[in-house]
Amino acid sequence: MSLRKSLSAAAIALAAVAAAPAVAQAQAPLPPCTQTLGYNNTIPTWDQYWAGKGDPDAVLPLGQGTTGAGGGAPTNGSGAPTPRGRNLTRVLNQYWDAMVEATKNNTEGQPKLIRKYLGKSYLGRDFSFYVAGTAANLADLDTPGGDAEFWRGVRAGDIPTEVGVEAAGERPAFAWVTATPHGGEAAGAESITRSMYELLARTDCENKKRLESLDVFYQPVRNPDGRDAVQRTSAFAFDHNRDFGTQNQIENKLMLPEINKYPGLFFIDAHQQSSGYFFPPNEDPVHHEISNFSLDFIQNGIGPALQRAFNDQSAQYQNYNSYDMFTPEYGDTVPSLIMGAAGMTYEKGNSEVYGKQVYDHYLAIDTTINVTTENKVRLLSDWVRQWGEAVHQGETCALQENKLVSPLHDTIKQEVPASAKVCGYFFKPGQHTADTAALLKHLQSTGVKVFTLDTPVAVNGYHEFGNTTAGGFPQSVNGQTLPAGTFYIPMAQGMKHWIQAVLGENPFIPYEYYYDVVTWSYPLQRGLSGSGFLMQPLSPGITMTALPTDANFGTVPTGVNAVYAFNTDSARGLSLAIDLLDKGVNVYRGASGFTAAGKQFYSGAALVDGASLAASGVNLSTLAQKRNTPVTGLSSFPVARKQLVKPKIGLYTGATTIPSNPLFISGPNVNGTSGHCALTGPTGFCEALHSLAVKNEIPLSTLIPVTQTDIIDGKLVSQGFTALINPGLSMPTTTSTGTPPVTSISTLGTNLLAFINGGGNYVGNNANGVSAARTIGATTLNTVASNVTTGLLTPGSTFDGTYDSTNPVAWGFDLGGWIYRDATGNPVFDTGTLGNGTSVVTYGATPDEKYGYESNATILTARPAVVDVPFGSGRSVLIGFNPFYRSWKEQDERLVLNAALYPKGATIGGPSAAPQAAAPSPESAAPAPSLEQVEAVAAPIAEAKLTETPRAAVRPVSKADRDVRITVKRSEASKLKTAVKVAKLSKSVKSKVKYTKTKTTYTLVVKGVRTSDEHGRKDWVSRVTMALDSLKVRPVSALL
């Protein structure tokens, strides 16, 4: 078609970054549309808008730049006076807002752009999304009964399928185009900017059809801090594309609930890689709950259209390569599950000049909009039908079957068991209240319907989380009763797919390939033991009430009470105890569980002296509502208790300074002024800081950064710190001098040991955290020899845990919990090296694939996972995994806070104590004591008896999941080697290649190349996998 040729020519002009004509003056209204390509010259191009404005940061022409990330733009700058590459966020925003202004008075069928403001990033940058469509369609977008409300009703299952199908020919569909969740992958924003201009300015009839058929939602910048810094991550060094489902980063937290109000037919997530272009069809595995509509539109609709478009221009591209649709955390899987959209990752290589990076993304975006417009009624009708199918599946308690989408694979590894029926999820009242409430609110923000049972309900098919056998077969019992007030999420609703994807115990990976983690169950990550799901439907007539989205359970009794009690079996409940201590209120913790006022309290429940609270002037009701934690009034202390001290918790920075971050942007002892932790690191500090200070809102008067210099200067002791948290960072606890070198404990190590010996709590995780305590003699704990872990793979795998709730580290875990190994490289502790330590959390005997993928994990059974080691008056609590991983894990954050608050003094009261020990006293009415005011049960070890000879660090941990691995049948070993040869690996990569074999398999291993930035290896990995494809080799498994 001549119009298509004209559009192609226009796009090629963009790739060449040609100069645009001067701005024309306003003209008379345009005719309805033209048969040939034309532009409304009242809508300025990028170059026209910026011409003559003299903004030193605006890149002209649009797309001007070099190769590489950001097209040569400098960190947090433009390269002025000769700006190049990616435009700064504020420059993009200004142009987009100008287009809103330029079209604000348009009416009826005229094009219009509106802005939906979201808020500010961590570093204060504004970000929004925009909607382009006809003025008439946009006028009806948010009205009562308008398009947004209507399509949400269809998705929810509230509007019948036949009504939705009928509307498919009358109402516009929604479509999403977004970019830069990884800030350094910048070209998508300029591409989207060009796409928006074309949609608003073109006057041809084909474009008129696009405007009438679709409301196109554009978000040019999803990570403004990362974009401006030319960095992949958020300012807290989190990967937004590993946070889209959990929404712990403010940009995702603000964005997803808002964009979810407008469910679309497709959702483009524009990224960049090293070279070429990847777009769907995708690689396996695919999560079994992604709808057939979503997969079909991706694999058989959009994918082939993109292939044709790129073939027409002889442009390089890849399909069925690396990028899967499994874990519900990405910008493709999350929209596919929540919106029912064709969620897609588009990856453009940055090895070409920036203009070509911009152009290829523009071509893919434009093609996607076109193919959707051309088939809008059929596609929208099929999109509608998927929600009725989801409701029907929920009514029959059925999960979708696993499927393969890549022609390169023919065998499903783990089927979804036919017996795995899920009718609805339940969460019992009075258990983990605040963390449960946070999860439910999160689900409601994505459109999930949550109810509370009005009365006690007898149920059959009762399954508690954890009651599952090998292969993920859930077990159930009959004749159980769910109490009144139980939270219930029925599966018979439109959001059934999303519910199962995030709440399910086992994701049933269909093919042993994993791009990221392999398990992630939200209830298990949050430690919501005691809850589960029903495998048989509720009886008819059960009454339940919809849970308000603003529900708050932070109730406090009226009047004056001698003692106030609340559970600390949630991270937010523990945080309430810290809030009170921080304000000087005297708080104890119960040494055991108890029942009072008709409520169950678990071990470690907080017991607040009423007189101390009253004297402090603290408003308990305000704090309880903030923490969503119910408080009960008592007349006395009900059980034996332990005194807590006013905490001063140090968070080790891993360096001599504090990395510049959103909470400590600049100032004394802060490294830099950017506020972006990825620029100043270590990022492990920022991950922990975010988990504790942002997510759990631990006050910064309690949580204080501690540098290496601080420890060397003796500030842990001299400034009264009660605990030190080391988030897995290296500590220079030893030093070597002389020839031959003699190793001794460094000043830092000596002062750390003095802190622990004097009563401080040291909390360290992973190998570095354990080594710091081991090298100074505070523990004998070690990891196993490397040969013991041969074949162990736990890339985000879940295991049963045995929790000793008599130990303060595991207080509140009376109902049990789980262990999440975020990496194969997490330590495997040697039980024989416990010494005087105690295993507080121990690996249970977890059957194979009970919760999902792992390999050779039986070696973990009965091994310690969390160890409590007393030393002098203090202790070390050593954790064999990352409790702050992506801020996902309230369960593990509770362990850290428990350890930091570990009480020092003797038990007060109890069965053998005098009756008056249970009554409040002048002592309990006093403010919270300092560490020095509490007499420790154990005395410090005399200085003369402290070791001066350091122990060796822990044995090296496994790095198996840092390797690229491709396993084929033994009979195809020669073909695997041929594929590697054909791929023409670089010398540096070749030097890391080796092969391993078993009786039935042959495996390529490339050592140590799997970093957090997958794009660094994508190019050569793709060449290997494409060569295997051409040789008709179907890998048995792959870790890419």
1000 contact partners, CB below 8 Å, separation of at least 6: 969, 970
Helical packing angle, 1015-1030 and 973-982, nearest 10°: 130
**C-alpha to C-alpha distance for 445 and 256, rounded to whole angstroms:** 8
Return d(Cα 895, Cα 867) in angstroms, integer. Answer: 11
Residues 478 and 446 reside in one and the same domain: yes
CA 173 to CA 153: how far, in whole Å?
A: 14
Residue 1028's CB is within 10 A of a number of other CB atoms, namely 25
What count of other Cβ atoms lies within 10 Å of the Cβ of residue 311? Answer: 10
Amino acid 470 reads A
Are 941 and 972 in a shared domain?
no
Residue 1026 lies in domain = 963-1039
Instruction: Detail the DSSP E strand segments found in 796-901.
Output: 797-803, 817-821, 838-843, 864-871, 874-879
Average pLDDT over residues 510-527: 93
**Which of 18-32, 368-382, 493-507, 749-763 has the lowest average pLDDT?**
18-32
Any domain includes 416: no
Instruction: Give the end of a domain, one of 344, 374, 394.
Output: 394
Alpha-carbon span 611 to 608, nearest angstrom? 9
CA distances 762 to 544, 897, 936, Å, are 47, 11, 16
Give how far the C-alpha of residue 1039 lies from the chain's centroid of Cα atoms, to the nearest Å. 21
Q: In this predicted structure, what is the pLDDT of residue 369?
A: 99
**Are 968 and 902 contained in the same domain?**
no
pLDDT score, position 323:
77
Indicate whether 157 and 276 sit together in one domain.
yes
% the chain with pLDDT above 90: 87
Quick one: CA torsion of 593, 594, 600, 602, rounded to 10 degrees? -10
The rounded distance, in Å, linking the Cα atoms of 329 and 113 is 30
pLDDT at position 690 over 70: yes
Question: For residues 829 and 858, what is the distance between their CA atoms, to the nearest angstrom?
Answer: 14
Residue 30 pLDDT class (50, 70, 90 cuts): very low
Task: Write down the H helix ranges in 418-519.
Answer: 433-445, 496-503
Q: Six-digit token pair at 267?
A: 């959702």
- 918 in Cβ contact with 641 (< 8 Å): no
Residue 1030's pLDDT band (cuts 50, 70, 90): confident
Identify which has the larger pLDDT, 344 or 961. Answer: 344
* Domain total of the chain: 4
Alpha-carbon span 715 to 695, nearest angstrom: 27
43: helix, strand or coil: coil
* pLDDT at residue 1021 tops 70: yes
30 falls within a domain:
no
Confidence of residue 912 (pLDDT cuts 50, 70, 90): low
- Residue 1022: pLDDT band (50, 70, 90) is confident
Nearest to 809 by CA among 905, 877, 875, 869: 877
Inside any domain, residue 576: no
The residues pairing with 347 across neighbouring beta strands, listed in sequence order, are: 271, 278
Same structural domain, 291 and 336: yes
* Cis amide leading into 81 (omega within 30): yes
pLDDT score of 19: 33
Cα(first)–Cα(last) distance of the chain, in Å? 42
**Average pLDDT over all residues of the chain:** 94
The SS3 of residue 150 is: helix
Q: Does residue 147 surpass a pLDDT of 90?
A: yes
**Range name among 213-217, 874-878, 1019-1023 with the lowest pLDDT average:** 1019-1023
> For the residues 525-546, what does the mean pLDDT come to?
98
- Burial, 907: exposed, middle or buried (Cβ in 10 Å; 0-12, 13-18, 19+)? middle
Distance CA 487, CA 426 (A): 6
Residues 379 and 438 in one domain: no
Whether 581 maps to a domain, the answer reads: no
The confidence score (pLDDT) of residue 915 equals 59
- The enclosing domain of 901 has a CATH number of 3.40.50.880
Q: Dump pLDDT digits (tens) for 407-416.
A: 877 889 899 9
Q: What CATH number should be reported for the domain holding residue 977?
A: 3.30.70
Which residues are CB-neighbours of 575 under 8 A, at least 6 positions away?
627, 696, 697, 698, 897
pLDDT score at 916: 59
Q: What is the pLDDT of residue 1010?
A: 85
| Residue 317 near residue 28 (C-beta atoms within 8 A) | no
| Residues 292, 227 share a domain | yes
> Residues 181, 435, 514, 822: what is their CA dihedral angle, to the nearest 10 degrees?
100
For tokens 């420890």, the residue is 711
DSSP 758-822: TTPEEEEEHHHHHHHHHHTTS----BPPGGGGTT-B-TTEEEEEEE-TTSGGGTT-TT-EEEEES
Provide the pLDDT for residue 12. Answer: 40
Q: Classify 50 as helix, strand or coil.
A: helix
CA pair distance 199, 195, nearest whole angstrom: 6
Q: What confidence category does residue 63 fall into, taking pLDDT thresholds of 50, 70 and 90? A: very high
- Name the more confident of 621 and 963: 621
pLDDT tens digits, 748-793: 999 999 999 999 999 999 999 999 999 999 999 999 999 999 999 9
Taking alpha carbons only, the member of 397, 491, 505 closest to residue 448 is 491
H or E segment and range at residue 462: strand 462-464
The pLDDT of 407-435, averaged and rounded, is 94
Q: Is the pLDDT of residue 68 over 90?
A: yes
- What pLDDT score does 948 carry? 79
Residues 710 and 664 in one domain: yes
User: Among residues 894, 919, 945, which one ends one of the domains?
Assistant: 945
953 found inside a domain: no
Q: What is the pLDDT of residue 1038?
A: 84
DSSP string, 364-427: HHHHHHHHHHHTHHHHHHHHHHHHHHHHHHHHTTPPPPP----TT----SSPPPTT----EEEE
> Buried (b) or exposed (e) across 479-517, using 16+ Cβ within 10 A?
ebebeeebbbbbbbbbbbbbbbbbbbbbbbbbbbbbbbb
Instruction: Answer positive or negative: Cα dihedral of 280, 284, 285, 286.
Output: positive
Compute how many other C-beta atoms are within 10 angstroms of the C-beta atom of residue 18.
Answer: 13
Identify whether 715 is part of a domain: yes
pLDDT greater than 80 at residue 4: no
More confident: 912 or 166? 166
Cβ(279)–Cβ(271) below 8 Å: no
Mean pLDDT calculated for residue range 380-394: 98
- What distances in angstroms separate CA 685 from CA 230, 533, 638, 677, 775, one per listed residue? 21, 37, 39, 9, 21
Residues 453, 389 within the same domain:
no
Over 60: is that where the pLDDT of 957 sits?
yes
CB burial of 563-595 (b: ≥16 within 10 Å; e: otherwise) equals: bbbbbbbbbbbbbbbbbbbbbbbbbbbbbbbbe
pLDDT above 70 for 8:
no
Distance of CA 188 to the CA centre of its chain: 22
Please check whether residues 362 and 476 belong to one and the same domain.
no
The confidence score (pLDDT) of residue 914 equals: 57
Tell whether 637 is covered by a domain. Answer: no
Residue 88: pLDDT band by 50, 70, 90 thresholds? very high
User: Of 376, 394, 412, which closes a domain?
Assistant: 394
Quote the percentage of the chain above a pLDDT of 70.
96
3-class DSSP state of 272: strand
Residues 378 and 428 in one domain: no
Residue 569 lies in a domain: no
* Res. 52: pLDDT tops 60: yes
* pLDDT for 943: 87
- pLDDT tens, residue by residue, 261-297: 999 999 999 999 999 999 998 888 999 999 999 999 9
Alpha carbon distance 269, 692 (integer Å): 30
Instruction: Say if residue 724 is in the same domain as residue 783.
Output: yes
